[in-house]
Chain A
Amino acid sequence: MSTLTPTAGTVPLPRPAPGRSMQAATTEPAWVRRSLIAVALIFLSLFLFVPLVAVFAEAFKKGIDVYVSAITDPDAASAIRLTLLAAGISVPLNLVFGVAAAWSIAKFDFHGKNLLLTLIDLPFSVSPVIVGLIYVLIFGLQGWFGEWLRDHDLKIIFAMPGIVLATIFVTFPFVARELIPLMQAQGQEQEEAARVLGASGWQMFWRVTLPNIKWALLYGVILCNARAMGEFGAVSVVSGHIRGQTNTMPLHIEILYNEYQFAAAFAVASLLAGLALVTLVLKYIVERRVRHQIRSAGDTVEAPA
């Protein structure tokens, strides 16, 4: 995040009149520029734009009726509900965790901080399939708590709790990662001032800290939510693929696709692709606010608006 700070303004040197020669010396000839732009756009088209367009094209290929019936099908509806539920539980939990982790890491100096930072990032480097596997090893029938869970008639694997656990794991770092650099840049002065002026801990948090981090918090939540709703590998291992019961949207897409119901699969996929686009738009808006907030944090201790 430190890389976001703007370059120091160049000292305006007296330049030889129209400045064209200087311009030419630090940029490329027009044909090079155009070819590079063309190469970049062709590459991005082949791997990004065309696939995105294809999702919507395939979804409406068989007409609007097929599309509507695919997304209103009871199994699809139950998959949508489960996906919303899983995201609805895991995102708030990771939000609370993210704030707690960022508070301790950004505002205090303690031993083992770097180790903790690395451990928070750890879930990003674990393959989703392995995430599913480790929960099976613990809660599955052969696992550590398998027998105990069976005796008490509790189901975690091949049921909703397993799906939620796997989702929490894969979206674990998102909120914390967005908050830590911002809160580090903001320092402690404002909170210390609030305390000195007699604010209680919670007053300080709600009135000083939270307004300062709200955009980054929202940004983290957006990313966390997108990943939570779209997670496939980890959820696939622990879900059991019971139609209408433990199928999330991505798993429902897989089933439809494997049954050669391509239009229906792409119809459900288009909902998730739409979510991805909304995520990108929100991300774009919020990112600019965060950049602004980090920049102003670098300046002076400004009065909260």
Chain B
Amino acid sequence: MLLSRTLLKRHSVLPGFDLALGFTLLYLSFIVLIPLAAAFLKTFTMTWPAFWAAVTSPRVLASYRLTFGASFAAALLNAFFGLIVAWVLVRYEFFGKRVVDALVDLPFALPTAVAGIALTALYAGNGWIGRWLALVGIKVSYTPLGVFVALTFIGLPFVVRTLQPVLEDVQKELEEAAATLGATRWQTFSRVLFPILTPALLTGFALAFARALGEYGSVIFIAGNMPMISEITPLLIITKLEQYDYTGATAIAVVMLVSAFLMLLAINGLQAWTRKRQGR
């Protein structure tokens, strides 16, 4: 009864508020909040210089550069091609469109380990795709480029899925008006449509980037995992754990958690902007 008296803004005839919210808060605390707090509390046992040294050692810095750099590049690639894919799926008709549309979600459904070994086999020097790239001297598997390929795979649906509904909502009249006023098709796209799509495009980009930052399963198979060169930050956390360096692992984890929370804030802001642009 305590919850309903203190929290409810107005009385409701519906039952079960205390039970439902009570269970929700309890479950949330035990599964998510308290365990996450453990990570932060663990770092408080470190002195500030020790913490700083743990999160800024050269090997850790190299892993940040790779993780953030490859995530950013992969999200950028996904933003560009995601826009084209979303456009094609919403605007054009072609054979097999429904299957293609359904398959866009594959990276959400396919376990990351499966994606990891499949991409590695494909992009290795003797793989279906890697063979052709090898001819022009490009090596993908077991290099930082492999990290980029894996992160592109897992981030692929985000831009497409955030753009699709917005694109479907665009009113034809706007484009007709632009055409009547003498705009070319490209001008209509760049000056009328693109500004409407921008918030959703940025949201999709941010979602893909945030997802890529924490990714582990698909990357470790294809990356080669060489310290300083192709070692991502999540892998470094595991390496430290295996060496029983719990505080070192936790310190890096806290840095990654804080960046993830910042991304979450940014995404919430972008989503609010998208809704405002759409006038709801």
Report which of B20, B92, B210, B238 forms a contact with A104, defined as CB distance below 8 A: B20
User: Judging by beta carbons under 8 Å apart, are A54 and B28 in contact?
Assistant: no
User: Judging by beta carbons under 8 Å apart, are B121 and A273 in contact?
Assistant: no
A64 interface residue, CB < 8 Å from B? Answer: no
CA distance A97 to B110 in the complex (A): 25
CA distance A122 to B119 in the complex (A): 29
CA distance A16 to B93 in the complex (A): 25
Residues of A within 8 A of B17 (CB): 104, 107-108, 110
**Cβ proximity bits B117-139 to A, threshold 8 Å, 1 near / 0 not:** 11101100001110000000000
- Given contacts A230-B113, A280-B106, is CB(A129)–CB(B10) below 8 Å? no
B103 interface residue, CB < 8 Å from A? Answer: yes
User: Judging by beta carbons under 8 Å apart, are A118 and B264 in contact?
Assistant: yes
Q: How far is the CB of A215 from chain B (nearest CB, A)?
A: 17
CA distance A109 to B9 in the complex (A): 6
What's the dominant secondary structure at chain A's contact region? helix
Interface-located stretch among A1-9, A70-78, A293-301: A1-9
CA distance A27 to B271 in the complex (A): 28
Report which of A44, A136, A226, A269 forms a contact with B118, defined as CB distance below 8 A: A269
Residues of A within 8 A of B19 (CB): 100
CA distance A273 to B21 in the complex (A): 37
Residues of B within 8 A of A262 (CB): 121
User: Judging by beta carbons under 8 Å apart, are A129 and B214 in contact?
Assistant: yes
Interface-located stretch among B48-56, B58-66, B255-263: B255-263
User: Judging by beta carbons under 8 Å apart, are A232 and B15 in contact?
Assistant: no
User: Judging by beta carbons under 8 Å apart, are B221 and A257 in contact?
Assistant: yes
User: Judging by beta carbons under 8 Å apart, are A127 and B256 in contact?
Assistant: yes
- Given contacts A26-B175, A231-B111, A272-B111, is CB(A47)–CB(B7) below 8 Å? no
User: Judging by beta carbons under 8 Å apart, are A283 and B109 in contact?
Assistant: yes
B227 interface residue, CB < 8 Å from A? Answer: no
CA distance A116 to B20 in the complex (A): 13
Interface positions of A from 100 to 152, Cβ below 8 Å from B? 100-101, 103-104, 107-112, 116, 118-123, 125-130, 133-138, 140, 142-144
Interface positions of B from 72 to 91, Cβ below 8 Å from A? 81, 84-85, 87-89, 91
User: Judging by beta carbons under 8 Å apart, are A110 and B172 in contact?
Assistant: no
Q: How far is the CB of B133 from chain A (nearest CB, A)?
A: 11
User: Judging by beta carbons under 8 Å apart, are A100 and B114 in contact?
Assistant: no
- Contact residues of A with B, CB < 8 Å? 2-4, 7-8, 10, 22, 25-29, 32-33, 36-37, 39-41, 43-44, 46-52, 54-55, 58, 93, 96-97, 99-101, 103-104, 107-112, 116, 118-123, 125-130, 133-138, 140, 142-144, 165, 168-169, 172, 188, 191-192, 195-196, 201, 204-205, 223, 226, 229-233, 236-237, 249-251, 253-254, 257, 262, 265-266, 269, 272-273, 275-277, 279-281, 283-284
- Contact residues of B with A, CB < 8 Å? 6-10, 12-17, 19-21, 23-25, 27-28, 31-36, 38-39, 42, 81, 84-85, 87-89, 91-92, 94, 100, 102-115, 117-119, 121-122, 127-129, 149, 152-153, 156, 165-166, 168-169, 171-173, 175-176, 179-180, 185, 188, 210, 213-217, 221, 234-235, 237-238, 241, 244, 246, 249-250, 253, 256-257, 260-261, 263-264, 268, 275, 278, 280
Going nearest first, the 9 A-B pairs with the smallest beta carbon separation are A230-B111, A127-B214, A3-B165, A25-B179, A232-B217, A233-B216, A276-B109, A201-B15, A104-B21
